[in-house]
């Protein structure tokens, strides 16, 4: 973190530069506000020194400086996320990202599902694990099938009582039958659908409430190498999740 992003370097002494850097590091690592005493102790200065610095920089006190830096760090992180997402998602839209964040918030306490096939299933498993450690209840396509349907005897399938939620679908072609079948079943039960695919004209894209086109302009060789689609989906999802936790 370069403190000159927030202040002109020549407006800060060496001790002040260290203090600003320390505050910014705390902001980036934690949502809890670091106290003036903590910052003073970490940088071997007195609290009065920090207060004088705040006044010299045009702030009424430490709280105002901390709030100002928090706002600037948040703005910088959003700018970075926007740039990264715009390079990873062909049809990037801030509105779509906000909409997905609202879905995550809306279904925070419900079961979420992620479906994919082949290499896309590996991406789905990554998203399952990532959302899981972030506090969501999330499951893969096998659990989705069990959740949506149960067998009565050998032939008859009966729909269970299902609470609408959110399903993520990953398919490079957007035509993977096992994936689109799950999505159709989900939509029939009121689920919101978010998909990652290379093709905006695919069946999956047409079924989705939000579709993110990833690497759509790139043609994959018959050998399938190189194929950055799956890696880009993971990176894009990480950036989107970062936006969600900034809201």
Q: What is the pLDDT of residues 199-239, one digit of tens each?
A: 999 999 999 999 999 998 766 545 566 789 999 999 999 99
- pLDDT tens per residue, range 103-136: 999 999 999 999 999 999 999 999 999 999 999 9
Counting Cβ atoms within 10 Å, is residue 149 exposed (0-12), middle (13-18) or buried (19+)?
middle
The residue behind tokens 């320390």 is 22
Same domain for 113 and 154?
Answer: yes
Same domain for 114 and 25?
Answer: no
Counting Cβ atoms within 10 Å, is residue 14 exposed (0-12), middle (13-18) or buried (19+)?
exposed
Same domain for 62 and 9?
Answer: yes
Same domain for 118 and 71?
Answer: no
45-78 burial: b if 16+ Cβ within 10 Å, else e: beeeebbebbeebebeebeebbeebbeebeeeee
Residue at 165 is within a domain? yes
| CB neighbour list of residue 58: distance below 8 Å, 6 or more residues apart | none
Integer Cα distance of 66 and 186 in angstroms: 46
Same domain for 121 and 199?
Answer: yes
> Could you tell me the pTM of the whole model?
0.70
- pLDDT tens per residue, range 62-105: 999 999 998 888 777 777 767 788 889 999 999 999 999 999 99
Residue at 83 is within a domain? no
DSSP string computed for 16-66: HHHHHHHHHHHHHH-SSPPPHHHHHHHTT--HHHHHHHHHHTT-SSHHHHH
Tokens for 27?
């902001």
Same domain for 69 and 104?
Answer: no
Mutual orientation of helices 62-88 and 14-29 as an angle, nearest 10°?
Answer: 60
DSSP string computed for 119-164: HHHHHHHHHHHHHHHTT-EEE-HHHHHHHHEEEETTTEEEE-----
Same domain for 225 and 141?
Answer: yes
Task: Please tell me what DSSP assigns to residue 218.
Answer: P
Q: How many structural domains is the chain composed of?
A: 2
Question: Which CATH number does the domain housing residue 36 bear?
Answer: 1.10.10.10
Q: Which domain holds residue 122?
A: 89-246
Residue at 84 is within a domain? no
């Amino acid at each position: 973190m370069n403190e000159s992003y927030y202040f002109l370097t020549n407006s800060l002494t060496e001790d002040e530069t260290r203090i600003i850097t320390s505050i910014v590091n705390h902001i980036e690592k934690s949502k809890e506000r670091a106290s003036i005493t903590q910052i003073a102790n970490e940088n071997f200065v007195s609290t009065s020194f920090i207060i004088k610095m705040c006044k010299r920089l045009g702030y009424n006190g430490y709280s105002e400086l901390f709030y100002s830096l928090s706002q600037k760090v948040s703005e910088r992180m959003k700018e970075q996320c926007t740039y990264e997402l715009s390079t990873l998602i062909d049809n990037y839209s801030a509105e779509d990202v906000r909409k997905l964040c609202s879905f995550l918030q809306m279904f925070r306490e419900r079961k979420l599902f992620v479906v994919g096939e082949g290499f896309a299933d590996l991406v789905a498993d990554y998203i399952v694990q990532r959302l899981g450690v972030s506090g969501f209840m999330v499951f893969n396509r096998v659990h989705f099938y069990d959740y949506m349907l149960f067998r009565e005897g050998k032939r008859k399938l009966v729909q269970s009582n299902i609470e609408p939620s959110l399903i993520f679908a990953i398919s490079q072609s957007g035509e993977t039958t096992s994936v689109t079948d799950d999505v159709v079943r989900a939509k029939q039960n009121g689920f919101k659908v978010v998909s990652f695919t290379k093709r905006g004209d695919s069946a999956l894209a047409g079924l989705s409430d939000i579709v993110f086109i990833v690497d759509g302009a790139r043609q994959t060789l018959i050998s399938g190498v190189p194929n950055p689609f799956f890696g880009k989906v993971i990176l894009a999802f990480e950036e989107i999740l970062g936006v969600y936790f900034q809201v």
